[in-house]
Amino acid sequence: MARVALALAAVPVNAILGAVLAFNPEPVYTYYLSVPRLWGISVMTDQQIGGVIMWVPGSMMFFVAAFILIARMVGKEERKPSLPKKKWASEDNLAAPGLEK
């Protein structure tokens, strides 16, 4: 469960930073104002695309990792050996709690 918690704990940080990059009205990294632009994309468009990619698909990957970890945990439960019948099939163990025979 610690691995699942760790994967899910990274989602808010990733999502918040992605949202900040996507919705910020000014360039966050001013260095990119002075470098040549490829394919004619402006600095702000590049930052917004990067923020959305970080926000949505980036956060989705943490959820996928958490779901995989949960599926592995559930799979391990199914492979556990079952209790022998003599341990659970006695009259005392089958009675509901609080009921007398």
Whether 70 is in a domain gets the answer yes
* pTM tops 0.85, yes or no: no
Whether 66 is in a domain gets the answer yes
Whether 42 is in a domain gets the answer yes
Whether 21 is in a domain gets the answer yes
Whether 96 is in a domain gets the answer no
pLDDT tens digits, one per residue of 36-75: 888 889 999 999 999 999 999 999 999 999 999 999 988 8
Whether 47 is in a domain gets the answer yes
Asked whether the predicted pLDDT for residue 24 surpasses 90, the reply is yes
The range of the structural domain enclosing residue 35 comes to 2-88
- Report the number of distinct structural domains present in the chain: 1
Question: DSSP per residue over 4-73, as a string?
Answer: HHHHHHHHHHHHHHHHHHHH-SS-S-GGGGSSPPSTT--HHHHHHHHHHHHHHHHHHHHHHHHHHHHHHH
As a whole number, the mean pLDDT across the chain is 85
Whether 101 is in a domain gets the answer no
Whether 62 is in a domain gets the answer yes
